[in-house]
Chains A and B, each alone.
Chain A
Amino acid sequence: MMENSIWMVAAFYLLAAVIVVSALLVVVLKNIVHSVLWLAVCFIALAGLFLTLDADFLAAVQVLVYAGAVCIMVVFGIMLIQRGDMGKTNLFNSQTWAAGGVVALVLVVSGYLSAATHWVGTAVPVPGKTVEHIGTLLLSKYVIPFEVAALLLLVALVGAIVLAKEVKARC
């Protein structure tokens, strides 16, 4: 169950550091565009992490969808909304300290639970050619969620268009 190769271990810790630091920067920075850029960095590091977990297809999808489409969409949104100086666009609100407390508690509890639990696992390696396996599964065993997901995307598309449409002024 455990990875012992030194390269994998080093890769994990490096990627983990990048993920955590960039996530912190996303939250802490006061310029929203900077936040979004560091978000992209975080997503790419996540893709690397997926690779260490033998999920190569997923890593590719992560880069394509998240780092590519989602971040760009968010930048588009920012540009449509923010006017003027981007400097002070991402500030903290009044309940920051309370939020900090809650988060600390969440961390403590979940950390303790993850560390203290005796997880039962196997040492079987992930089969190679994950794309083929995922593809087969998606179209046989999980075909219904697959189709529903497609429908969901259609609905989201239509909804977004309707919501963001120009409102014509009535005379």
Chain B
Amino acid sequence: MQHAWLVPLLPALAFLVIIFLTRPWQKLSALVAIAGILGAFVFAALAAYGVFTHPIFTEGSLVYGARWFSMTGLHVNVGIMLDPTSAMMIFMVSMVASLIFIYATGYMKGDPGFSVFFAYVSLFAASMLLLVLSSNLLEMFVAWELVGLCSYLLIGFYTHKISAREAAKKAFVTCRIADFGLLLGMLSLQIVFGTLDLPQLAMRIAHFHQYTTTGVLTLIAVLVFLGPIGKSGQFPLHVWLPDAMEGPTPVSALIHAATMVVAGVYLVARMLFLFSKLPAAMELVAVTGAFTALFAASIAITQREIKRILAYSTVSQLGYMMLALGVGSLSASMFHLWTHAFFKALMFMGAGSVLTALHHKADVWEMGGLVKKMPITAWTFVVGGLAIAGIPPFAGFWSKDEILASTLNSHHYVLFAMGAFTAFLTAFYMWRLIFLAFFGEENPANHPVESPWNMTVPLIILAVLATVGGWVGTPWANVWSQWIFFGEVEHAAPNYGVMIGSVILALAGIYLAYLLYYADREKVRARELARRFNGIYTLLYNKYYIDEIYLWFNHAIVDGAARLFYLFDIYVVDGIIVNGLGALTRVSGEGLRITETGRLQNYALVFFLGVLVIAIVLAFSSPSAAGLLLGGVK
């Protein structure tokens, strides 16, 4: 366990080796990268085993650290913090990453940037693992930014496409705006509590009234929460996630489904000792999560591109995780994070498989009946669809149920209703995708072929995980919440009402999708529906016009301000100050020039006038001065 620091180090080494040494040789680079991540996985598994055999709970985790730098009043440590949550995370991240690396050897085949791709994803893996293991907020922030950098590099990997470059910029800038809030929050924490070390902060915040008021701390918590809003794609900074699909599909699977986007959720989870003291902040987190879930699901039901549907689905599921944190249940949130990694990565990789087969044609309405030619892809995707819809015994059912149950138990009825409706929508849009793409009539223009082994084997492994991965957290034998929890262990009784209700909602969604997109061969009813509710349909299809609003805002405010400053510069700085000074000098010079007549008598006149003034001043001001004038006489 004390060697857990090797976990982020191995992929980092792989990155350096690929960049400096093995770039020209593609196969070798891939091998180095996979070796790095598999090594990390081995160590992570060992570390997780160590954590679960030695009882260490979230409150008193194991920390190994060293001093990074210190000045008067500021001491920053760097180190790793190993507790059940972080052990689970490194295990999951390294495992999913290994599978995706193997998958990528098939997907990225033939691409000229093959080696560089593996370098970037290795760096990403190293950064993500470092983020998860950080014991200090500053260290976590460094890893946070590194992860954002890798996201930028990988989204914009296809540098020849303008849309990819723009999407990369958008991702980075949106996250930057969010990170501003996070940085302010961190600085405030350092100023108020004097430390950024997570265990020490937890201790000090436990009796925070010695340091500051509830109001100020709520403000700090809100600022810190801004970071996750950007990174985890919560409303209103969700706009970068759908556009991030411009990157290669392994990137979408790894970064924007399983790992990076959950960094925001992880941060809130790590800082739960702060948030749990502030009811207002918790409400904010919960409401943001629930709203985002519903919002994204509503957009997903109209989208046409396969990866976009999956992207909005990710945003929606992240909303679920935030909701769980907001109502105080760390175990439910982390559980959903765990299962979501499996089935979302699975579905993304399945989508990648489809895209490769159809030469990157992405519109689901142009696909159809792919089950016949691509059975492995199709059936693993179906497993993923069942998992996300929440059908037992697949993984998603157990985790989503936990979230809904804890929402209900904490008396957030409105949020519960939103969560339940979102579950219905989730099942609907996902099975819409499945029915349109994989079942039904084949499109004669397509010539799909099943993908090679290095792409299908990871799919199968993930499908198995998506099935059994939820069995660690069933309500009857809840192993999960005994290890990963916050506060006290939850011994909630299984809520049969919620379980049966969610299954009914999921089946209803699937059935509705079946009616519209499978039973109806010509999709007449679907088109009828779209035409009847044209207003709502357009609104949802255009993502509530949020992107357009942001663009307008940018143009109006930023460009407007720029124009204002331009005018200010031209007229005030240039005109009044610079030119004005010049003109003033010239005019005053011309005015004063008239006194230089060149005539002696004029000068003499002024001279005598001056003497007179001096004499008057001297004579009538003070007795001593008058004495000066009159030769010592009063």
Judge whether B593 is part of the interface by a CB distance below 8 angstroms.
Answer: no
Judge whether A144 is part of the interface by a CB distance below 8 angstroms.
Answer: no
Set of chain A residues within 8 Å of B616, measured between Cβ atoms:
109
Judge whether B214 is part of the interface by a CB distance below 8 angstroms.
Answer: no
Judge whether A95 is part of the interface by a CB distance below 8 angstroms.
Answer: yes
Which B109-124 residues sit within 8 Å CB-CB of chain A?
none
Which A82-126 residues sit within 8 Å CB-CB of chain B?
93, 95, 98-99, 102, 105-106, 109, 113, 117-120
Task: Give min CB distance, A106 to chain B, whole Å.
Answer: 6
A117's partner among B601, B605, B609, B633 (CB-CB below 8 A) is B633
Task: Give min CB distance, A105 to chain B, whole Å.
Answer: 6
Judge whether B619 is part of the interface by a CB distance below 8 angstroms.
Answer: yes
- Do A117 and B634 contact each other (CB < 8 Å), given the known contacts A95-B605, A98-B605? yes
Task: Give min CB distance, B91 to chain A, whole Å.
Answer: 103
* Nearest A residue to B633, CB-CB: A117
Set of chain B residues within 8 Å of A113, measured between Cβ atoms:
619, 629-630
Mask for B590-634, Cβ within 8 A of A = 1, else 0?
000000000001100100110010011001000000000110011
Set of chain A residues within 8 Å of B634, measured between Cβ atoms:
117-118
Tier of interface size on chain B? 10 to 19
Set of chain B residues within 8 Å of A99, measured between Cβ atoms:
601, 605
* Docked-complex contact B612 and A102, CB < 8 angstroms: yes
Set of chain B residues within 8 Å of A109, measured between Cβ atoms:
612, 615-616, 619
Which A142-166 residues sit within 8 Å CB-CB of chain B?
none
* Docked-complex contact A117 and B612, CB < 8 angstroms: no
A109–B619 Cα distance when bound, in Å, is 9
* Nearest B residue to A112, CB-CB: B619
Set of chain B residues within 8 Å of A98, measured between Cβ atoms:
605
Mask for A1-45, Cβ within 8 A of B = 1, else 0?
000000000000000000000000000000000000000000000
A34–B577 Cα distance when bound, in Å, is 62
Set of chain B residues within 8 Å of A95, measured between Cβ atoms:
601-602, 605
* Nearest B residue to A119, CB-CB: B633
Set of chain B residues within 8 Å of A117, measured between Cβ atoms:
630, 633-634
By the criterion of a CB under 8 Å from any partner CB, how many residues of chain A are at the interface? 13
Task: Give min CB distance, A121 to chain B, whole Å.
Answer: 10
Set of chain B residues within 8 Å of A93, measured between Cβ atoms:
601
* Docked-complex contact B633 and A106, CB < 8 angstroms: no
Mask for B142-160, Cβ within 8 A of A = 1, else 0?
0000000000000000000
Task: Give min CB distance, B598 to chain A, whole Å.
Answer: 14
A102's partner among B608, B615, B619, B633 (CB-CB below 8 A) is B608
A74–B605 Cα distance when bound, in Å, is 24
Task: Give min CB distance, A49 to chain B, whole Å.
Answer: 22
A113–B616 Cα distance when bound, in Å, is 10
Mask for B14-30, Cβ within 8 A of A = 1, else 0?
00000000000000000
Task: Give min CB distance, A112 to chain B, whole Å.
Answer: 9
A106–B604 Cα distance when bound, in Å, is 14
Task: Give min CB distance, A96 to chain B, whole Å.
Answer: 10
B605's partner among A102, A118, A120 (CB-CB below 8 A) is A102
Task: Give min CB distance, A167 to chain B, whole Å.
Answer: 24
Set of chain B residues within 8 Å of A105, measured between Cβ atoms:
612
A171–B605 Cα distance when bound, in Å, is 44
- Do A102 and B629 contact each other (CB < 8 Å), given the known contacts A93-B601, A109-B616, A109-B619? no
Set of chain A residues within 8 Å of B602, measured between Cβ atoms:
95
A26–B539 Cα distance when bound, in Å, is 106
A98–B601 Cα distance when bound, in Å, is 11
* Docked-complex contact A120 and B612, CB < 8 angstroms: no
Set of chain A residues within 8 Å of B608, measured between Cβ atoms:
102, 106
A98–B602 Cα distance when bound, in Å, is 10
* Nearest B residue to A110, CB-CB: B615
Which B374-396 residues sit within 8 Å CB-CB of chain A?
none
* Nearest B residue to A99, CB-CB: B605
A106–B630 Cα distance when bound, in Å, is 15
Interface residues of A (CB under 8 A from B): 93, 95, 98-99, 102, 105-106, 109, 113, 117-120
What would be 28 A-B contacts, judged by CB atoms less than 8 Å apart?
A93-B601, A95-B601, A95-B602, A95-B605, A98-B605, A99-B601, A99-B605, A102-B605, A102-B608, A102-B609, A102-B612, A105-B612, A106-B608, A106-B612, A109-B612, A109-B615, A109-B616, A109-B619, A113-B619, A113-B629, A113-B630, A117-B630, A117-B633, A117-B634, A118-B633, A118-B634, A119-B633, A120-B633
